[in-house]
Amino acid sequence: MAQTRERVPVVIVEYDLIARTIAERIAGIIRARLAEGRRPVLGLATGSTPIGIYRELIRMHRDDGLSFAEVVTFNLDEYYPMDRDSIHSYHRYMRENLFDHIDIRPENAHVPPGDLPREQVEAACAAYEAAIVEAGGIDFQILGIGKTGHIGFNEPGSGAESRTRLIALDTVTRRDAAADFFGEDNVPTEAITMGIATILEAREIALIATGEHKAAIIRRSVEEEPDPDVAATYLQAHRDATFYVDPAAAAELTRIRTPWVVGEVRWTRDLEIAAVIWLSQKVGKSILKLDPDHYREHHLSSLLARHGSAGPLNGEVFNALISKIRGRSKLPEGKRIIVFSPHPDDDVISMGGILNKLHQNGNEITVAYQTSGNIAVFDHEVRRYLDFMRRFDRDFHADGQRIGQVADEVEGFLERKRPGEVDIAPVQTIKRRIREAEAVSGIETFGMRRDQACFLNLPFYQTGSVRKDPIGPRDVQITLDLLNERGPELIFVAGDLSDPHGTHRMCLDAIHRALAEYAGPAPEVWYYRGAWQEWPVHEADVLVPLSEEELRLKILAIFKHQSQKDRAPFPGQDEREFWQRVEDRNTATSGFVDRLGLPEYFAMEAYVVRRAGERLEAETVPTSALGGGIPGGRRATDPARARA
């Protein structure tokens, strides 16, 4: 197995196992401390990352009798200013996601106060520190990590001696939070956070990260020197800190991305392809021009030895990559296909090129939009449609009384609506219908019929806010009913794994659970990626080339989603419009393939293919590169101990 360059223990497993393991560890600490006659003290975090842990603790309390009556908790942070009952408040988050479901005493649950006058904040921070000391210190601290490497809200530049304090939020952090606040302008500019020194005084620390978007900062945090600009690097000095990451978040670690650089590996065909592609990039040569010295000088002598010489190896990898390229003539024809689209534009954004080709090939296609996407519609779009409704009523004498009542109600609400406030039902419905009409217009761009659009409107999404309910039996049943009705031979699903409780990943979970119950013949599953990134060429099973005209048509379909054009409500860190991201991404993939020495195409989409029942997550990391299991109980504190 490959060695590592990691300066802190890293455990790589799926999120569900991470959540169960940490919950079990917390339960063990609670029982052990109580047996010692003292109160257990937990450091808690918010956001999507720990939700699975909290759900498992709630289950343990309900089913196993785990009591929190003597537990003391301290949360990492809170926005400032922030009313405790706001939907954005971490006080409210903790109540809704944990405290209201267990027997913890209210006086034992501490969250930094975000609702104090500014002149009282400094004293409150000092009191928070004193309360932690009085409780005996934190036994177990849960952490997430931001894209800047912040833990808590310790932004770049936070010192190792910092304590609980009021801090200005970094622009990247505020952009990441924009979705929760329905726009970056609504995100507070400050927060109260535990300091680095406070966090490092915890006896045991578990940092959790999931998703491709965390991969780069995870590698930086565990493989590079401690740096005040990346607060998570301070954890390298802790006596008992462990990073728990899913395979997607581990993707940039040296032992995963290039394991041959750090030691011996068990070569597989997939790993050979990845290594040769990497070498081609490293030396700036096309695959067929790689020579033995290139292999020997870049830690790949063992791979060269397996094949005897560079020529046969280069040829095998070149042919394997060529076989991935499928133009229209090599794509399915006459098949029953379901395209699952988490939001009403993911189909055209992510796979508009192949969708057009599949339609041309005479396949029987249903595009199933899993959620309404209504929270991603600006209020001004609603006002525009209300104006249209009133004008339509005047011109064609529709049921004016009802239209007028609804319009008055909606306009009145929008006038008094507070930033981040959940929309009333009529507004949610109007926004839903806007997205549906755009989705139909999008597929009509390819000549498809409007009855090929199916709107599932899964219940988990229908909260009116960014935070969604867990996937439940009704979500699975709706998905299963569609599978039973259409009997697909092939399905397309979003393979984005960036957030364990994000819409794309939750939609993927609903599909997987429905497929597990599906009694029909197992369909082939093609995974696409969304607006944020593309599958790497070495991971992709299918590369679909697009001509300039085909890419133009795909972009035209994206334009039909007018509510998402010019400025999307939740753009993330990327300021480009969706069509610009797509154009850059698809042309970048074809350019990458060209540099490998393969045929040159104008643009390309990439897909990973599995049979139903084969989990995507299990395949995202070479099995030869994975470490052992998760440690149980308190581990040895020697920093040089074996990495899991």
What distance in Å separates the CA atoms of residue 644 and residue 63, rounded to the nearest whole number? 30
Q: At 77, phi and psi to the nearest 5?
A: -165, 175
Residue 44 pairs with which residues in a beta bridge? 75
583 is catalytic: no
Q: Let me know the angle formed at the C-alpha of 40 by 36 and 42, rounded to the nearest 5 degrees.
A: 155
- Write the single-letter amino acid at 100: D
Q: Which residues contact 236 (CB under 8 A, 6 or more apart)?
A: 7, 8, 222, 226
> Using CA atoms, how far apart are residues 229 and 486, in angstroms rounded to an integer?
53
If you count them, how many residues does the chain have? 644
Angle at 191 between CA 189 and CA 195, to 5 degrees: 135
User: Whole-angstrom Cα distance, residue 396 to residue 394?
Assistant: 6
| Whole-angstrom distance, CA of residue 605 vs CA of residue 592 | 12
Question: Cα(382)–Cα(597) distance, rounded to whole angstroms?
Answer: 50
Q: What is the token pair recorded at 431?
A: 């926004």
Contacts of 127 by beta carbon, 8 Å cutoff, 6+ apart: none
Catalytic residue among 6, 129, 155, 583: 155
Tell me the torsion sign for CA atoms 616, 620, 621, 627: negative
Question: Strand pairing partners for 41?
Answer: 72
| Two tokens, residue 584 | 């850059």
CA–CA separation, 9 and 18 (whole Å)? 14
User: Are the beta carbons of 25 and 203 closer than 8 angstroms?
Assistant: no
Contact indicator for 144, 208 with CB cutoff of 8 Å: yes
Which residues, including other chains, have CB under 8 Å from residue 304's CB and lie 6 or more apart?
Answer: 292, 295, 296, 310, 313
Question: Any idea which residues carry the catalytic annotation?
Answer: 155
